[in-house]
Amino acid sequence: MKLKPNEDTQKTTTENLHFGDLIEVDWLDASEATGRLENGKFDTPVRSVGYFLGIKGRKTKHLIIAKELVRTCDAFHYNVIPVGMIENIRTLAREALDLDNIKILKKCVRTFMRRLKEKDGWIYFEEPSKKTVG
């Protein structure tokens, strides 16, 4: 994979992101609660790094990133981040994915994006097996 370093690593917005950009997202996760709950603070600061896949959601918009691409079993681990909880987005590299991975991820996003919440953070690229009646 050939990275094209981003000369401007200042804060960016979701509108400036492109499919496949390598990004770093600082956000608050209310579901983790990994530390002590002090003074009614429930949000846990998190930094996630991954490839930008898009913004999805009807009522609440979420930023979707692929955190890991597993080549041996054609899968990726994704993260769904509520846009309202994002504190900072930084583009680390533009067009960071190679053409093959872009094609695979775009097809997968079109096919499976509606069912992300059912997948425990993983999407597998294999097609469902076809049952034949004999």
Does residue 14 contact residue 55 with C-beta atoms inside 8 Å?
yes
Domain locations in the chain? 11-34+42-124
In words, the CATH class of domain 11-34+42-124 is mainly beta
Question: Which DSSP string do the residues of 15-70 spell out, in sequence order?
Answer: GG--TT-EEEEEEEETTT--S---TT---EEEEEEEEEEEEE-SSS-EEEEEEEEE
* Predicted structure pTM score: 0.74
pLDDT tens for the chain, 134 residues: list them: 444 444 555 567 888 999 999 999 999 987 755 555 566 667 789 999 999 999 988 888 999 999 888 776 667 888 989 999 999 999 999 988 888 888 878 877 777 666 555 455 666 655 444 444 44
